[in-house]
């Protein structure tokens, strides 16, 4: 396990800092990931670390930005230390989908596939159980 796990998970309230999935429903700890990857000159310190579910971490990989489909504009992905989640995303509790409210939110939802069928089905269950948002 990552030596920073306890501190990072506590700071994140044991939720994925990208999609807000609750860690409590998984049978393993979430991953500590580098917001700016080491391969892109990111640092290995707490300010550059985030708690991420496996789905978000795999899809994010070494990305720090993505292209908006409508405008072909490059936009950086959501940065959990610099951005407030509620400013960039909104949850539709009826559908279970996350909507990007800003270009940063839109590109993050798209590239991390936050509304994949599996993610939406799980989120709907978490909502019914009172675990999300």
pLDDT of residue 133: 85
pLDDT of residue 115: 98
Residues 114 and 17: beta-carbon distance below 8 Å: no
Query: Cα separation of 66 and 20, whole Å?
Result: 20
pLDDT of residue 55: 96
pLDDT of residue 70: 84
* 133 residues of the chain, pLDDT tens digit each: 889 999 999 999 999 999 999 999 999 999 999 999 999 998 999 999 999 999 999 999 999 999 997 888 999 999 999 999 999 999 999 999 999 999 999 999 999 999 999 999 999 999 999 999 8
Query: Cα separation of 84 and 81, whole Å?
Result: 8
Give the residue numbers spanning the domain of 83.
Answer: 5-129
pLDDT of residue 110: 96
- How many distinct structural domains can be found in the chain? 1
């Amino acid at each position: 396990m990552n030596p920073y796990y306890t501190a990072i998970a506590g700071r994140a309230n044991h939720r994925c800092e990208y999609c807000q999935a609750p860690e409590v429903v998984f049978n393993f700890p979430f991953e500590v990931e580098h917001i700016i990857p080491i391969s892109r000159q990111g640092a290995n310190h707490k300010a550059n670390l985030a708690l991420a579910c496996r789905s978000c971490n795999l899809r994010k990989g070494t990305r720090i930005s993505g292209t908006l489909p409508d405008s072909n504009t490059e936009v950086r992905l959501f940065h959990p230390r610099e951005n407030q989640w509620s400013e960039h995303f909104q949850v539709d509790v009826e559908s279970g989908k996350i909507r990007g409210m800003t270009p940063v939110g839109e590109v993050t939802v798209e590239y991390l596939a936050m509304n994949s069928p599996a993610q939406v089905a799980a989120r709907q269950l978490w909502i019914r159980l009172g675990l999300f948002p």
